[in-house]
Structure 1
Amino acid sequence: MKITVTGSLGHIGRTLTEILMEKGAELKVISSNPERKKSIEEFGATAAIGSLEDVGFLVENFKGAAAVFTMVPPNNYFDPNLDLIAYYKRLGENYAKAISEANVKHVVNLSTIGGHLEEGNGILKGAYYVEETLNKLPSGISITHIRPTSFYYNLYGYMETIKSDGAIYANYGNSPIPWVSPEDIAQAVAEELTRLNSGRKIRYVASEELTGDQTAEILGKAIGRPELKWQLISDEAVTDRLKAIGMNPGIAEGLTELYAGLRTGLLAEDYQKNKPQPMGKVKLKDFAKEFARIYHNN
């Protein structure tokens, strides 16, 4: 089965590549980094090196694929000139054009929790626009939107204050946070790519639900700091902290709105109606071992 995936060998891509190769897929992995070519080929996959901004490149590498995995790669939140929503819109349109021109019939798209919202989801609005753009493709093209929840690895962003203050400062966490591991996302994506469903589908992926206090307790135990606290602060304080470390002001405000949506329940309203069962296999205590290694080696 011929499959083309975007996302290179990132957090999701590496595990996804491993799973698909084990399933016997004839796999092509798209990457913008020429240095990834050797690593991709070591998996037994074909490396396609080029830019997602190049529709012609996408068409060439989508042609002949029974299924395609699309995702918008992370960008530099500290770039003062980055218009993140425009970036999402542009790549969403590129994917739609390439899927149509390459006559792809099965698409699995990486979206996000909150992807159903046009407002109130901060920077996740970009994923909403990608979903909307792909959904305008002809009905004969099957599309599954994968909506993962809060990534465990986002917790690395709190490393500095964990070390300095023994605290995680956030404007959410008073209610359960639906966390997810990239490994569980990769498993779900692989299942959908090889299942070849018809029609349109939404699939949420989550690994474990924990409050901020429970999250801090598990991380604190793993790093040898049982006093670690999850400290709730205001939206304004979160925005100010993000801007102070040099983040693009618009993105800082968008992240704050995203997290506020977790606090109010707005972001997870559709997730709560369509909660995945069972949850993923990778729990926070598993991720905490990796977190601890990095914490003690930095």
Structure 2
Amino acid sequence: MKIIITGSLGNIGKPLATNLVAAGHDVTVVSSNTDRKEAIESLGAKAAIGSVSDASFLAKTFAGAQALFAMTPPNLGGTNIIANTLQAGEAFAAAIKKAGVKRVVMLSSIGADLEGGNGPIAGLYKIEKVYEQLENTAVTFLRAGYFYTNLYNDVPMIKGAGIMGGNYPADAKIPFVHPADIATAAIEELEKEATGKNIRYIVSDVRTLGDVAVAIGAAISKTDLPWIEFTDEQSLEGMAQAGLPAEMANLYAEMGTGLRSGIIAEDFLKTNASVDGKTKLEDFAAEFAGKF
């Protein structure tokens, strides 16, 4: 089967491409970075280098493909982020329609059921709505949990202040996911027959932030590591000091308020969706310690 992967060779794209090639599929990986071409080809995949906002390039790349893993880059510039995200999604949709791709697995997120109050996830809500209008294309919205790997952003805080934290409390219940588990779920969806538009949640573990601090603290031999809840203002100030553009910082702070109130995780929790991922919090904590 000819399968297109967007998202280059990141934490999801690399294991996805590696395993699909190993399974005998004809795989093309889309990247905007020419430096990735050799790495992509070394996996046995083809490289398509170009912009994911260029519908003409995408349509040419998608031509003849039976399936597509659609991943819109999470940060398309420092300003107009939601609009830019939607523009890329619309380019994907136009290319899918023109190329006649029959099977699409779109990487989405918990909280993508919400039009607002979810920070950058609002862009994925909008793209889901665009993809819902695709005729004669089966689409699975693969709504992923909060990436474990985002916790690496806390490394400077752990080393500098001996804490972890965010503008959400230690008792907030968070559906987490490991990128490798997303890749596994994406392969399952790409290889199976499907019709219509479907939602699949992919989550590896559901834990509190207090659990996170305990597990990571134990793994890095800091057993007194606490999770500290910051105010929105403190969170914004910290992101500004780290050099994050103001618009992105505000979106992340808004996502934090959504995690704090529970609205981002609400749909996943209330639907009793299964926890399919194999990587539990303690597994990731060991991985975290190896890179700490």
- TM-score band, normalised by shorter chain: over 0.9
Task: Report how far residue 26 of structure 1 moved.
Answer: 1.0
Alignment match, 1:168: 164
- Cα deviations by residue, 1:228-266 (Å, 9 ceiling, x for unpaired): 110112222212221222212122121111111112111
Task: Report how far residue 294 of structure 1 moved.
Answer: 2.2
Amino acid at match of 1:167: I
Is the counterpart of residue 208 in structure 1 residue 201 in structure 2? Answer: no
Q: Is the 8 A contact 1:13 1:186 kept in 2?
A: yes
Give aligned pairs, total: 291
Task: Report how far residue 13 of structure 1 moved.
Answer: 0.3
- How many Å separate the matches in 2 of 1:287 and 1:41? 29
Stretch deviating more after TM superposition (85-94 or 19-28): 19-28
Alignment match, 2:10: 10
Is the counterpart of residue 191 in structure 1 residue 188 in structure 2? Answer: yes
- How many Å separate the matches in 2 of 1:272 and 1:169? 23
Matched ranges for 1:1-298 at <5 A: 1-75=1-75, 81-138=78-135, 140-172=136-168, 173-295=170-292
- How many Å separate the matches in 1 of 2:188 and 2:27? 15
Q: Is the 8 A contact 1:85 1:126 kept in 2?
A: yes
- How many Å separate the matches in 2 of 1:59 and 1:250? 31
2:100 aligns to what SS in structure 1? coil
TM-score, structure 2 as length reference: 0.95
Task: Report how far residue 202 of structure 1 moved.
Answer: 0.5
- How many Å separate the matches in 2 of 1:75 and 1:38? 24
- How many Å separate the matches in 2 of 1:83 and 1:120? 16
Q: Is the 8 A contact 2:74 2:85 kept in 1?
A: no
- How many Å separate the matches in 1 of 2:4 and 2:255? 31
Amino acid at match of 1:57: F
- How many Å separate the matches in 2 of 1:23 and 1:258? 37
The CA RMSD over aligned residues, in Å, is: 1.4
Task: Report how far residue 284 of structure 1 moved.
Answer: 2.1
- How many Å separate the matches in 1 of 2:272 and 2:202? 8
- How many Å separate the matches in 1 of 2:220 and 2:276? 25
- How many Å separate the matches in 2 of 1:178 and 1:293? 23
- Cα deviations by residue, 1:99-125 (Å, 9 ceiling, x for unpaired): 011011111111111111111111111
Amino acid at match of 1:229: P
Q: Is the 8 A contact 1:150 1:179 kept in 2?
A: yes
Q: Is the 8 A contact 2:73 2:85 kept in 1?
A: no
- Cα deviations by residue, 1:60-103 (Å, 9 ceiling, x for unpaired): 11111111111112327xx6x42210121110110011001101
1:132 aligns to what SS in structure 2? helix
Stretch deviating more after TM superposition (232-241 or 185-194): 232-241
Q: Aligned in 2, Cα 1:15/1:276: closer, same or farther, shift over 3 Å?
A: farther
- Cα deviations by residue, 1:210-243 (Å, 9 ceiling, x for unpaired): 1111111111111111111101122222122212
Ranges in structure 2 where 5+ consecutive residues have no aligned partner: none
TM-score, structure 1 as length reference: 0.93
Ranges in structure 1 where 5+ consecutive residues have no aligned partner: none
Identity %: 42
Task: Report how far residue 145 of structure 1 moved.
Answer: 0.5
Task: Report how far residue 277 of structure 1 moved.
Answer: 2.1
